[in-house]
Amino acid sequence: MKRIFFFVLVAVSISCNRQKPLGNKFFDFDSSDYYSLNLNDRQISKLNLENATASTIISGYYPESINEISEISKLGEIGYTKTTLNAKQVKELSQIFRENSNGDFEFAACLPIYRDIFVLKKNSKIVGIVKLCYECGQASFRGTKANTENFGANEEFLKINLVLKR
Least confident interval from 4-13, 85-94, 119-128, 147-156? 4-13
% of the chain residues with pLDDT over 90: 44
Task: Please give the single-letter amino acid code of residue 9.
Answer: L
Reduced to 3 DSSP states, what percent helix, strand and coil does the chain have, rounded to the nearest 5? 35, 20, 40
Closest to 144 (Cα-Cα) out of 158, 166, 126: 126
pLDDT of 89 reads: 96
Q: Which of 30-34, 46-50, 56-60 has the highest mean pLDDT?
A: 30-34
Residue 72 has pLDDT above 90, yes or no: no
Q: Which of 18-22, 62-66, 103-107 has the highest mean pLDDT?
A: 62-66
Q: How far is CA 74 from the centre of its chain?
A: 21
pLDDT of 30 reads: 96
Burial of 124 (0-12, 13-18, 19+ CB in 10 A): exposed
For the entire predicted model, the pTM comes to: 0.81
Phi, psi of 17 (to 5 degrees): -85, -5
- Say which residue, 12 or 37, is predicted with more confidence: 37
Report the pLDDT averaged over residues 112-132. 94
pLDDT tens digits for range 27-37: 999 999 999 99
Give the bridge partners for 117, in sequence order.
Answer: 35, 131
pLDDT category of residue 80 using cuts at 50, 70 and 90: very high
pLDDT of 106 reads: 60
* DSSP conformational letter for 154: T
**So where are the chain's domains?**
23-165
**Is 56 in contact with 103 (CB distance < 8 Å)?**
no
Residue 14 has pLDDT above 50, yes or no: no
What is the overall mean pLDDT for the chain?
A: 82
